[in-house]
Structure 1
Amino acid sequence: MSAYPDNKEQASASTPESKGTKLTSRATAAAKRVAPENADYRTVDHKKLTPMMQHFVQIKEKYPHALLLYRVGDFYETFFQDARKLAEELELVETSKEAGKGIGRVPMTGVPQHVLERYCTLLVEKGYAVVICDQVEDAATAAKEGRQVRREITRIITPGTLLDEGMLNARRNNFLAGVVIARNYWGLAYSDISTGEFFTTQAEDLEVLTQELMRLQPSEVLIPTNAPDLGSMLRPGETSEHLPECLPSSFCYTFRPQAPFSQAEARQRLLERFKVRSLEGMGCEHLTLGVRAAGGLLEYLEETQKQTHVALQTLRTYTIADYLILDHQSRRNLEITATVRDNTFHGSLLWALDRTSTSMGGRALRRWFLQPLLDLKGIQARHDTIQELTENTQLRDDLRQLLRSIYDLERLTGRASSGKANGRDLVALADSLLKLPELAELAADGNSPYLRALQQVPPNLEQLGQKIQAHLVESPPLHIKEGNLIRPGINYQLDDMRSNAEANQQWIANLEVTERQRTEISNLKVGFNKTFGYYISISRSKADQVPDNYIRKQTLTNEERYITPELKEREAQILTAKEDLNQLEYEIFAGLRAEVGEEADEIRKVSRAVAAIDILCGLAEVAVYQGYCRPKMVEGRKIRIIEGRHPVVEQSLPAGFFVPNSAHLGSSDTLEQQATDDKPDLIILTGPNASGKSCYLRQVGLIQLMAQTGSFVPAKEATLGKCDRIFTRVGAVDDLATGQSTFMVEMNETANILNHA
């Protein structure tokens, strides 16, 4: 499949659907004409390159480790080694392009602009950074002035800086992390620019840093270094001598200069970004390493987003010790987000419990289960809300029904704040904002904490939704610079321009009628195309009847095309008016979008409340239909589970097939009772293979985890003391990557439990 079907000077590029497409004879011949020394931009004589190629090379020299996509007309092209890499990774056709006198042809691969997002998604998934260089002025204007079209870098797309909807998983965060290490201490900051979340922390023990990264699963991690290869990116599985040993190789790492991660520069950048005089209000004034990580991350966003403003929420500080700690092995063995055997979502704890209706709720549920609470008040607030929702079926059903009609407020707001939202995004946002008062009304009689949080919706958000709905048409076009966005009656100037445009179109329609009558040519037509503009079409058989004032413009096989001075004059008016009309509509739309950005903090605050109630409605639904109970949470050391069940296995079997099991460990309800507690806190369970030992072990761990997440639990009755860590050691296999036998893997995992329990 050719990406350039009508242009011999531009190369063909296949789409992913044409996988395995062979080179056309033209492309093959072009590829063969590339001299070996022309495959590398570093070895060609830059002075002999065409102006466009010189500009391409100048940008490439600034970003040698990224793939550069350079806008040329309706395509994004790339040259030299980038062309070959792009063709290889995406299975596109590589061809060539003339690069200048004395140079000859160089490798080229191109992709159509309308599928750029899809190709960038594939490249990012493979661990590449992509630099987008766009045309920032009208090509016709540059051509009239006899100069090259002005192009600028508009954004740099990396795995951790995705904003476009098609590049993101709706139910997972896409975190960018920054790490600063000082001996055995470390600082960590992470952000999801699509939702605006921004967090930082610091602690001691590099092993804890590793576990925190494994919890977050960031798409990209920034590492400050003095290494000479700054800007390079390690794809998952790759290693480098500059990568600290404590960091797992399963992530994508980007090496950054040290300066932005210095205390002075990082702190100043945070102060300027959030317009504050001190970081005390964010709780991180004395978190030196955390501040350094956050400031370095912020600098990276400023560099990569270029013309895009990323609306981050105020930096929030957290302490790892405030949450139940699950190391990576325990998360894996408990199969919280994926199964051990197949690494699939189906069969995981989230699969069994996720009944959320919104994307926001789905993302938040994942975070809740990967970071359970230690604070009993926080746990009980969630339990209280679930209890109220289980007891009030009508309220639960009404809330869930309404939640299904609410779009992803967090990410819609993120796109609007960054100037990426289109008309459809704003319509979806408005529809969702106008549902908030209904949610508040449903929650009005609620007594539990999370229902009360929904009862107060800022009136300005409803007003914003009403304004967007009043301004934008019900089904706006995908592209925001092509008109047909704004309703009539919104702007008098816009209405006048539309009236003039309609009058001009009517003049064109009348012209066809009057010219047919005047010339007595029945098949005369008035047409339009982008190349020649408006024209009068007459079949060649009627050419002898053409009036003297017709000027021949084009000859085709079966027709002649003409213009008249009057038609060209009217054409200029129509095209200019259309441009002005589209520009005014865009300006009105951009103003609306900017208003959304101004309310971003309020919208995100409400969206967090909506996500939380979505989670709790879903957990209440599971509790009702699966027969879960509310666990009694105590301060002491106690596990008392009566007729407990494994939440996943139970749902995987026919109803009634799972045999419940009880567990009793410890008996102290309070901290004071622990000193005299004589009940056993250890169970040694033996039995043959496949008798359920691992299931029982996981079951107890999952019930404790669910309770501290705020969920009801699969049991007839449960009394649980809060715990600060959960460990599981279930089975093992050889770890060939690190050269460890099954026995060694088991010993290391057991040692980890004994060292931290």
Structure 2
Amino acid sequence: MAKYTPMMEQYLRIKADYQDAFLFFRLGDFYEMFFEDAIKAARELEITLTKRDAGQDDKIPMCGVPYHSAEGYIKNLVDKGYKVAICEQVEDPKTAKGVVKREVVQLVTPGTVMESTMLNERNNNYIASLSHFEDGSFVIVYSDLSTGESRIAVIEAGFDQVIHELYNQPIKEIVISSNLPEELQKQLTDRLRVTLSYQDEISFNGEYRAIFENLNDEKMVKAFSRLLNYVQFTQKRSLDHLKQAEILELTNYLSLDMYSKRNLELTETILRKGKHGSLLWVLDKTVTAMGSRMLKKWLERPLLNQVQIENRLEAVEGFYKAFMERDSLRESLKSVYDLERLAGRIAFGNVNARDLIQLKKSLQRLPEIKEHLSSFTNKQINDLANRLHVPTEVVDILESSIIEDPPISIKEGSIIKDGYHEQLDTYRDASRNGKKWIAQLEQREKQETNIKSLKIGYNRVFGYYIEVTKANLHLLPEGKYERKQTLTNAERFITPELKEKEQLILEAEEKSVELEYNLFVEIREKIKSFIPDIQQLANVISEIDCLQAFATVSEANNYTRPTFSESQLTIKNGRHPVIEKVMDDGTFVPNDIELDEEKDVLLITGPNMSGKSTYMRQLALISIMGQIGCFVPCDKAELLIFDQIFTRIGAADDLVSGQSTFMVEMLEANHAISNATNRSLILLDEIGRGTSTYDGMALAQAIVEYIHNHIHAKTLFSTHYHELTELEDSLSRLKNIHVRAEEYEGNVVFLHQIKEGAADKSYGIHVARLANLPDKLIDRASVILEHLESTDQSQEKKVINPATEVESNQLSFFIEDGVKETKKKEKQEEDSTLITELNELDLFAMTPLDAMNTLYRLQKLAKEKIKI
């Protein structure tokens, strides 16, 4: 069998080291892929699959993408969870002997993306590593290469807690040991949908000693080394922008498990997986990308320390009260680019001249921002101003070196200002003025030789020359002209002066471009030493942006500064921050919430669609907003500082894990019961509905009793099991509340008002009617409900025989017309009643809420008449 060609053998050797990645193999102006890579890439990228002769009898599969547009294809693959190994030519093809040497210069993975076009500017792009130790503990390390931030957390509560922690961060890739048990690896991929990568080397890397300085635990050092070694292997370049690893003390933050984060829709909605409709969507009034990222991190980790919370609230109040100053600050912040990621690209070596101009313009804005902050009378805001230290040396370097509107490429020249470098100015002068100098030399030579036909020309083979016709050769002075080429009617010469200029002119542009690139690299290296200063500035600017955003959204939505209590939670006219924005018409009905040591469990009854779930989520979101330092949507708020929030709201199967709605419900309930403390908030919605009535009711009652008797967490428990309302008599700290609804002529009007006491019914059939189920079906359900409700509790409730309906509703064909006539008369009477009621309304004596409810009821009534 014939061997592969030398080039293909080179490809196979390199590919052997990158089996889990697409190998983008540089051939001229294309990145080529072969064999299985080509087949899969052609399918994923929707590009043409061809074949190539590789020395074997059969041609091999091949596809390729243009070098200059490869970034888009790489992004496509990485977004789908794949890795891409970039294999470049690392020697000049002109001087290469045999096959040009090639090496992988970077492995692009979902967690190591650095190119700005491949990143969402308002989201972090985390890579994580997970290490498991013999004592049963796990250590998680987070890093965002684009910003340089690194965090590390130790978890000793088991793998389930690891899953919850990892879920709460936007992680694209997790680096693990190849020895991590298969069942744990499967949980990571199934439950978190991330790319797994493997790194077994965990030896300490002394090159980045500063990053490890505050890690005094051997487990942390090994865990961080695992991630750092993997990043070095994949990126193959400087990581000088990595900040010192921050130890993440999880006990300093309000804990939100994966269920709660999902159910509360903090950063994305459940159905559409997008920002719109989430709490983040409402709160994000930041004007910088780095501020937006920080706000999201604050939202994912609310504070427990009241002093820290109050410091944020005090700054927010300062911004809130000074609209004009805040508005001026916002305008200035709009001119600040993403300092965090600019610093990352400077260290990484993929920064361009436009990036450096963005850096300069951002730094030039900082004195103005500092002046705005100093104009506030608020101490916290003044402290922020004092933390803004502008590295003026960076501004001076960039102001003197980089032109204001440079090209994107750093290898094609036109980057450096005139006057910055003497040799570059010389090259540019030769390049720009070369033709002018040649023309002047030609005129001087004509005058000195008195040869009017003398001319200076140029061709690629001989370069510049002086051409003299043979008839005038005798006029040339001896010794000055060196013969270069003989023609039929003329001779071509060169002089030492022209030869010197020729070399300068021909090399000027090439050397100018090369020198500009080298100068740019020197400038980049100078700026690199200021990366810690730039990162510190980015952190302060992000904090300022978040706090002014809280003030902006609080003023726009009429939020109130909360206070905090050790035992009492009181919210007056609380509102759901997201729903009121979605409705955006002022019709949202506010409600009070009160919990204390005497009544810490609220049992909520009321119809579906009446607002029970909204009321529960509302409490959680207001609490979270308060604990991140934002004002809250209500007239008055005295809040508790919760250590954890657990939610069981909404119904959904976990198809990936093969779990039913009821199993998911039980798992979430168990997680809450097993981990909650007396400082936690538990929200349980419709527990027990996924099984039989008696099973569900028994479980619901047992859960309420367990929380009440053993956990003492603040709890909202909604249910349709009205029998549970009797627990108020036996559980001293349980209180019944209900969502008010009114029934009028067979229709229900939801008032969305929370009242004390239990609801009298669930109005499920009325909700079904609103969903436009067939009238015959609704009527039948009413008959069955009446039977079930009239049956004595001691009697067994059985399904009504369907035949009963047929016998009781037999209609003679001979009387059908009479029935129709009767219904017609009834409808006319009902229409007359409707008109009479409308005429009798005293609109000026009604409150807006009464008017809205009456209009809603009459509209429903009118629609029912139209159906008849």
TM-score (norm 2): 0.70
Query: Is 1:736 matched with 2:655?
Result: yes
Deviation at 1:744, TM superposition (A): 2.2
User: 1:256 is aligned with what amino acid?
Assistant: Y
Q: Which moved more, 1:690-699 or 1:568-577?
A: 568-577
Q: Distance in 1 between matches of 2:442 and 2:272?
A: 67
Distance 1:275 1:632, change over 3 A: closer
Deviation at 1:346, TM superposition (A): 1.0
Q: Distance in 2 between matches of 1:691 and 1:755?
A: 30
Deviation at 1:683, TM superposition (A): 1.1
Corresponding position of 2:93: 139
Query: Is 1:473 matched with 2:473?
Result: no
Q: Distance in 1 between matches of 2:113 and 2:487?
A: 53
Residues 199 and 226, structure 2, Cα contact 8 Å, conserved in 1: no
Deviation at 1:661, TM superposition (A): 0.7
Residues 143 and 149, structure 2, Cα contact 8 Å, conserved in 1: yes
User: 2:352 is aligned with what amino acid?
Assistant: N
Query: Is 1:755 matched with 2:658?
Result: no
Distance 1:68 1:512, change over 3 A: farther
Deviation at 1:510, TM superposition (A): 8.7
Corresponding position of 2:479: none
Corresponding position of 2:625: 706
Residues 450 and 612, structure 1, Cα contact 8 Å, conserved in 2: no
Residues 131 and 155, structure 1, Cα contact 8 Å, conserved in 2: yes
Distance 1:215 1:568, change over 3 A: farther
Corresponding position of 1:370: 300
Choose from 209, 224, 241 the match for 2:162: 209
Residues 413 and 596, structure 1, Cα contact 8 Å, conserved in 2: no
Within-5 A mapping of 1:237-386? 243=185, 245=187, 248-258=190-200, 260-261=201-202, 265=203, 268-269=204-205, 271-275=206-210, 281-282=213-214, 284-286=215-217, 288-309=218-239, 311-386=241-316
Q: Percent identity?
A: 38
Q: Distance in 2 between matches of 1:716 and 1:533?
A: 87
Within-5 A mapping of 1:489-504? 489-504=419-434
Residues 96 and 106, structure 1, Cα contact 8 Å, conserved in 2: yes
Query: Is 1:219 matched with 2:181?
Result: no
Count matched residues: 645
User: 2:155 is aligned with what amino acid?
Assistant: A
Within-5 A mapping of 1:501-540? 501-506=431-436
Corresponding position of 1:616: 547
Higher Rg of the two aligned structures: 2
User: 1:498 is aligned with what amino acid?
Assistant: R
Residues 382 and 450, structure 1, Cα contact 8 Å, conserved in 2: no
User: 1:716 is aligned with what amino acid?
Assistant: D
Q: Distance in 2 between matches of 1:493 and 1:568?
A: 19
Choose from 426, 437, 455 the match for 2:356: 426
Q: Distance in 1 between matches of 2:641 and 2:576?
A: 20
Deviation at 1:134, TM superposition (A): 1.4
- Structure 1 gaps of 5+ residues are 1-43, 228-238, 537-547, 553-563, 667-676
User: 2:208 is aligned with what amino acid?
Assistant: R
Q: Distance in 2 between matches of 1:93 and 1:126?
A: 19
Deviation at 1:246, TM superposition (A): 6.6
Cα RMSD of the aligned pairs, angstroms, is 3.2
Query: Is 1:686 matched with 2:605?
Result: yes
Q: 1:529-581 CA deviation, whole Å, 9 max, x = no partner?
A: xxx99999xxxxxxxxxxx97999xxxxxxxxxxx997999887545322221
Distance 1:187 1:507, change over 3 A: same
Q: 1:135-186 CA deviation, whole Å, 9 max, x = no partner?
A: 23433344xxx54433222111011111100111101100010001236421
Distance 1:334 1:513, change over 3 A: farther
Query: Is 1:62 matched with 2:17?
Result: yes
Q: Distance in 2 between matches of 1:443 and 1:489?
A: 37
User: 2:631 is aligned with what amino acid?
Assistant: F
Corresponding position of 2:749: none
Corresponding position of 2:66: 112
Secondary structure, aligned partner of 2:386: coil
Corresponding position of 1:651: 581
Distance 1:85 1:568, change over 3 A: farther
Within-5 A mapping of 1:132-211? 132-142=86-96, 146-182=97-133, 184-205=136-157, 206-211=159-164
Residues 373 and 381, structure 2, Cα contact 8 Å, conserved in 1: no
Within-5 A mapping of 1:79-94? 79-94=34-49
Q: Which moved more, 1:319-328 or 1:568-577?
A: 568-577
Corresponding position of 2:385: 454
User: 1:127 is aligned with what amino acid?
Assistant: G
- Structure 2 gaps of 5+ residues are 445-450, 466-483, 677-868
Corresponding position of 2:372: 442
Secondary structure, aligned partner of 1:640: strand
Q: Distance in 1 between matches of 2:292 and 2:365?
A: 19
Corresponding position of 2:393: 463
Q: Which moved more, 1:182-191 or 1:467-476?
A: 182-191
Residues 423 and 477, structure 1, Cα contact 8 Å, conserved in 2: yes
Distance 1:320 1:419, change over 3 A: same
Q: Distance in 2 between matches of 1:508 and 1:76?
A: 44
Query: Is 1:405 matched with 2:347?
Result: no
Residues 84 and 107, structure 2, Cα contact 8 Å, conserved in 1: yes
Corresponding position of 2:814: none
Q: Distance in 2 between matches of 1:520 and 1:462?
A: 57
Q: Distance in 1 between matches of 2:207 and 2:267?
A: 38
Q: Distance in 1 between matches of 2:575 and 2:552?
A: 17
Distance 1:249 1:335, change over 3 A: closer
Q: Distance in 1 between matches of 2:453 and 2:14?
A: 58
TM-score (norm 1): 0.79
Deviation at 1:500, TM superposition (A): 1.4
Q: Distance in 1 between matches of 2:198 and 2:635?
A: 54
Secondary structure, aligned partner of 1:127: coil
Q: Distance in 1 between matches of 2:437 and 2:46?
A: 50
Distance 1:527 1:158, change over 3 A: farther
Deviation at 1:107, TM superposition (A): 2.3
Q: Which moved more, 1:302-311 or 1:389-398?
A: 302-311
Residues 190 and 657, structure 2, Cα contact 8 Å, conserved in 1: no
Q: Distance in 2 between matches of 1:510 and 1:78?
A: 55
Distance 1:550 1:755, change over 3 A: farther
Q: Distance in 1 between matches of 2:229 and 2:431?
A: 47
Query: RCO higher in 1 or 2 (8 Å CA, sep ≥ 6)?
Result: 1
Deviation at 1:655, TM superposition (A): 3.8
Deviation at 1:218, TM superposition (A): 0.8
Residues 110 and 195, structure 2, Cα contact 8 Å, conserved in 1: no
Q: Distance in 1 between matches of 2:131 and 2:601?
A: 40
Distance 1:580 1:388, change over 3 A: same
Distance 1:491 1:329, change over 3 A: same
Deviation at 1:659, TM superposition (A): 1.4
Q: Distance in 1 between matches of 2:493 and 2:45?
A: 50
Deviation at 1:445, TM superposition (A): 4.0
Q: 1:217-254 CA deviation, whole Å, 9 max, x = no partner?
A: 21100110248xxxxxxxxxxx9657164775433233
Corresponding position of 2:524: 593
Deviation at 1:103, TM superposition (A): 5.2
Distance 1:59 1:743, change over 3 A: same
Secondary structure, aligned partner of 1:154: strand
Corresponding position of 1:40: none
Distance 1:140 1:578, change over 3 A: farther
Secondary structure, aligned partner of 1:641: strand
Residues 191 and 656, structure 2, Cα contact 8 Å, conserved in 1: no
Q: Distance in 1 between matches of 2:34 and 2:28?
A: 16
Corresponding position of 1:37: none
Secondary structure, aligned partner of 2:394: helix
Q: Distance in 2 between matches of 1:451 and 1:527?
A: 68
Distance 1:568 1:746, change over 3 A: farther
Corresponding position of 2:831: none
Q: 1:620-650 CA deviation, whole Å, 9 max, x = no partner?
A: 011111110100023x132110111111111
User: 2:515 is aligned with what amino acid?
Assistant: L
